[in-house]
Amino acid sequence: MKFEKKAVIFDLDGVICFTDRYHYLAWKALADRLGIYFDEKINNRLRGVSRMASLEIILERADREYSEEEKIAFATEKNDLYRDLLKNMSPSDLTDEVKDTLNELRRRGYLLTIGSSSKNTKFILERIGLRDFFDAIADGTDITNSKPDPEVFLKSAAKVGVDPADCAVVEDAKAGIQAAKAGGMTALALHGDAENCGEEDYNLVDFADLLNIL
C-alpha cells in the first residue's frame, strides 16, 4: 500500500521518543502517594490525552472527591516529577531508526511536522536535539481541545499550508488516530493503543516502515 501525501505529522510522546514511559512513571508516583490504583492498562488511556484530562482518568479510581485547587496541585506535582525525568534525556535518546527515517522522508520531499498534546513538546525536542528539525510544531500550548479533537493536527497542517487530505499522521494513541480521522487525514498507527484500534488506515510494523508506504 502507498499513501501519496505532502506532509507527515508526528505525535511526539511514544512516536518520536519514549517519553510515554516517563509519563507513566510520574503518574504512578502520584497515584501511589494518593493511594489510588494505577497500572499500564489505565496508562494506555492517557495516551494523547491532555494533562488535566489524564488526571481525571486517574481519579476515577479515587475513593473521594478532590477540589479544583487540589487537582491543579496534583497536575503540577506530576509535571514536576515528569520534567525531572526528562532532564535525563539527551540526543542519545533519539534512535538511529527515527533519525534516519526522518532524514530520508525529508530527502523524499515531505514536509515534517509535530502535532502533540504536550505542553513540554519544545523542551523534549530540545533535549533530543530536534528543536529546529521540524517544519512546524503544534503542541499543547497552541490548542484548547486535545485529541481526539483534531485541533492540534489541523493547526500543524495549517502552519505548513498543507490541505488536511494531503497529510498523514503517525500516532501511538487511539485518541490520536480518532483526531487524525476527524481532521480528514490519513491515520498511521504505531504501537500503543493506536495499533489495531479499528479506526486506523494502516498499522506500521515499526517507525522505519514509513519508508515502505510513503
Sequence-distant (≥ 6) Cβ neighbours of residue 140 within 8 angstroms: 50, 51, 116, 117, 118, 119, 120, 121, 146, 152
* DSSP states of 125-176: HHHTT-TTTSSEEE-TTT-SS-TTSSHHHHHHHHHTT--GGGEEEEES-HHH
Size of the site for Mg ion (CB under 5 A): 5
Contact between 14 and Mg ion by CB under 5 A: the answer reads yes
Inter-residue contact 164 to 154 (CB < 8 Å): yes
Catalytic residue among 13, 139, 149, 193: 13
Give the Å distances, CA to CA, from 158 to 37, 144, 148, 152, 163.
Answer: 41, 16, 18, 10, 7
- 150's contact among Mg ion, ligand BG6, none, with CB below 5 to 8 A by partner kind, is none
Contact between 200 and Mg ion by CB under 5 A: the answer reads no
Max CA pair span of the chain: 54
- 151's contact among ligand BG6, Mg ion, none, with CB below 5 to 8 A by partner kind, is none
C-beta of 111 vs 190, nearer to Mg ion: 190
Site residues for ligand BG6 per CB under 6 A = 12-13, 23, 46-51, 54, 79, 116-120, 140, 173
Binding region for Mg ion (CB under 5 A) out of 10-18, 82-90, 145-153, 156-164 = 10-18
Q: Which three cell numbers stand for residue 172?
A: 501511538
C-beta of 28 vs 191, nearer to Mg ion: 191
149 included as an active-site residue: no
C-beta of 99 vs 122, nearer to ligand BG6: 122
CB of 23 to ligand BG6, least distance (A): 5
Inter-residue contact 192 to 47 (CB < 8 Å): yes
Nearest one of 172, 189, 166 to 109, comparing CA atoms: 166
Inter-residue contact 204 to 187 (CB < 8 Å): no
Binding mask 154-193 for Mg ion (x = CB under 5 A): ------------------xx--------------------
CB of 67 to Mg ion, least distance (A): 30
C-beta of 129 vs 140, nearer to ligand BG6: 140
11 included as an active-site residue: yes
Give me the active site residues, please. 11, 13
- Binding residues (CB under 5 A) for Mg ion: these are 11, 13-14, 172-173
